[in-house]
Structure 1
Amino acid sequence: MTKHTFLTLMLLGFLLPMQAQIETITQVIEPALLECRYKWVQKTDTLGTGIAVDTMVLRIGKNVSQSYPQSTFFGDSLVNTPNGGELFSKLFDAALGDTTGTIPMPMSRIINEYHYKNYPKGKLTTWAPRATVYQIEEDYEKQAWTLVDDSVKTVFGYKCQLATCTFRGRTYKAWYTTQLPYSEGPWKFNGLPGLITEVYDTKNHYHFTLVSLKQNNVTPVCFYNIRSELQPEVEKIDRITFLKQRGEFLLDYNKQYDYMETDYHEH
């Protein structure tokens, strides 16, 4: 048996118990009309020499949408298996020694947050499972977009138009298509007259590009109740306080980059 085959079989062995456990922590909110996946690239230092790459999942329903990094879901699901700690260690060791690129690290590559737009109605809820699981609730509002006339670009085969906005400390450019009439986008982006296919800040610290679409047999829009059994009640926290706590983490570990929302520096 080749090393590649062995690693693949080992990964499948981890995924089977994970799937069973995912079902126990899943609350279906509503059917999904569309599932989008975006390549998410983040600069990890001010020189732009380091990057982190992940896949952002966007699942859109009639009333609610959810958005989360694929690596976060993988790692959180793994830890929530009956023997999660042991499986995590084995998969970590396997990924560390893997030269085939088939074994992912069982942890978040960028952030570990799940965003739910219009859930509950009129609110945007962020579920942030860390050592302590936090729930952040804010008003669900669209960005103040400015549409750019005579701008055309093709993204993922769709004719797109350009829009710009300033949102919580960063200025963004977004390409959207009216061929997919969903006023949605990755992360917290929304409010354009069509699906956002590409969006990035003007410093290009964060960049999302659509890489796949699924319109049939889509997984429902779900709430994943990921938390430790040792924390039966989730801690609710306001957005600015949460960001300030994360900002202290950056200082403690001398990180040379900042979060997407930088307006916490103003408070």
Structure 2
Amino acid sequence: MSDDIQQDQVDQLGMADDPLSILRRLESANLSLSEMLVETLHAVRTHLGMDVAFISEFRGGSRIFRYLDGNFVPLQLEVGACDPLDDSYCQRVLDGRLPELIQNAATLPEALAMPVTKALPVGAHLSVPLRFSDGRLYGTFCCFSTTPDNSLNERDLNTLRLFADFAGRLLERHALNEIRYAETLTRIRSVLEQRAYSVVYQPIVHLVENRIVGHEALARFSAQPQRTPDKWFAEAGLVGLQQELEVALIEAALHDFDQLPADSYLSLNVS
């Protein structure tokens, strides 16, 4: 897909006023995970008329900005930046000290007690938790404006929840893929390190002369799960270790080459 066509897809996302239509357009757009999440933030931010929207991850007592959209000046926010979770609106919304929907932060004593409220300043603010299907908390889906907005209502908060649910599904899918990748990488590396493989030599017979003329080296694996060699090689390919695994099996096959009949040849399968 060309950059122009992909940009057209992105530009169309903000054309639909109905949040469900926006999400359907997002799902059908040919975008990477990062692009899709940023466009999700852009769509909800422009739909609600906010200055900044972001997705944060909570880790080790910190709030990490993972995805951002909006006018960051003079906020100086950037992807990867972090701050103490205890000092954030996000934590106070989660524990109930602040509501999920704030029309004017200046009217709330808890918000006014936070230096960031006057420093930015924070006017309107909406924040909902991002949770995975098992209930695990990832972080928050937030947007805010530097000016108050008394028109914000429960319907707007439900819109934010709708987009947050969509973002949460994307993030959970990505997290599961990362876990599967790590498990696969560990499994293949273990096979290589423990040499949990062997080679058998299948005779190649000249049918007319009824004699063995060669041998085909075939891989066998003793590691779990028990499965055919092609599946092991395919899985190694998923984590970039197929070549290393093939070379290891070729070396194993050649190790016992001198034990084969001198007048026969050895056949090796390589990708």
- TM-score for both structures, normalised by structure 2: 0.25
Q: Which has the higher contact order (CA 8 A, sep 6+)?
A: 1
Query: What TM-score, normalized by structure 1, do the two folds share?
Result: 0.25
Query: Which protein is richer in strand relative to its size?
Result: 1
Q: Which has the larger radius of gyration?
A: 2
